[in-house]
Structure 1
Amino acid sequence: MIDPKQSPSYRADDFKLSAKIIEEIDAYFLPTLDKFNYPNPKVLVVFSGGVAVGKSTLSSKIARELNGLVIETDAIKKCIQSNIDSNLDSRTLGKYSWAYSMDLYSRICKISPNGLVVRDSVIDWYFDRIIPKFKIQGFELFVVNFDVSKKKREELIRARGEDKPTTTIDRMVEMIDENLYHQSRFLNAYQPNVTLGEDNLFDHEIVIDNLRAKIDSLV
């Protein structure tokens, strides 16, 4: 078993950004957020499962059909690279994006009326630090679980055919075992609202229907 705090890829909270840098990132990143000013009840949508399972496609569908506010970790990294410091190594860039994300999560309801926040990233590794940031602001939780085998995960990753700007195909494959472990940690703590398996992995209408019902129950 992997101790999450001993994992080489597990990020600590000891890195902080100055208020000035946070303001600078805000100035570039927040205007890129579609649906930022759309009013919605407070529901945090999180994804449990590996990469290449359709999280971004599903996030876009939630934004399009339910006016969700999508916050994507990779988009934050790209924004920092393009506008703040293009010379950051990947580890430091990760620290910057993590510190900014955690600050943004803690104040999101103060700066946007859109409570339907879709975190377009895997929740499993840091759920115990991220979810409380939203809970304290009164958010309900909506969990989408991707139940995919190790073999299928590798197939999906390699089928992408190209590296991402912030990581490589080989690195994503190397991380599968750790991702599976952290997913089990998360699922021991939280029940999914919807589970998508290998037979219906991209049947996103199930998610939309259940999420719409959740939103309607809060209006």
Structure 2
Amino acid sequence: MLQRISLDKILFLDIETVPEVENFDELDATTQKLWELKSAYQRKEEFSAEEFYNNAGIWAEFGKIICISVGYFVLKGDTRSFRVTTFYGEEKQLLLDFKNLLDTHYQHPQQLLCAHNGKEFDFPYIARRMIIHGIQIPYKLNLFGKKPWEVPHLDTMELWKFGDFKNYTSLKLLTHILGIPSPKDDIDGSEVRAVFYEEKNIDRIITYCEKDTIAVAQIFLRFRNEELLNDDEILHV
């Protein structure tokens, strides 16, 4: 089935998120209380709501997107290349730029979005943040009324499950066992908040996000039993 999908009809992507503000005490009293309630199950009694706030980026209600990296294949005869680029900056603008990409270049039914754990994280997170900013959700992210087989999303974690709903496999683990260069050779997701707010190094995060996007494409190639991309085939644009 995967071999029937043309590689140049897939947009691979990854997002990086952080808490919407740097520190818990910057939140108004209502939001602090709502965060306390929202995070209670995950933090249990081990941490206070304030101590756990560094993890707020994983929830769209309390976090924000700081970059979206996308990659796509260009096929010309027997040659291929993979082009990757990143939207970053003020969140509403990067979401508008990403929406414009989808609206202008990924409107056809046969075109798909692909991410690792995208159905549980990336795709709904983007859609929720768009709603919060008053942005109309693009067709490829609007799932209202769609039947499961009409959803234009691929998820490499879901594909790896082979129907086993108990299985969670991280991108780092999957790249390791499939012999793909790890995208986590500098930072990992747990360090993004500190790099963004304390180091103020968005370029480092962009590099990390683009490596994740490339890794998702490499995993998809391995699922199709095709040769991995080499460095000469990957273009940063």
TM-score relative to the length of structure 2: 0.29
TM-score by length of 1: 0.30
The structure number with the bigger radius of gyration is 2
- State the structure with bigger RCO (CA 8 A, min sep 6), 1 or 2: 1
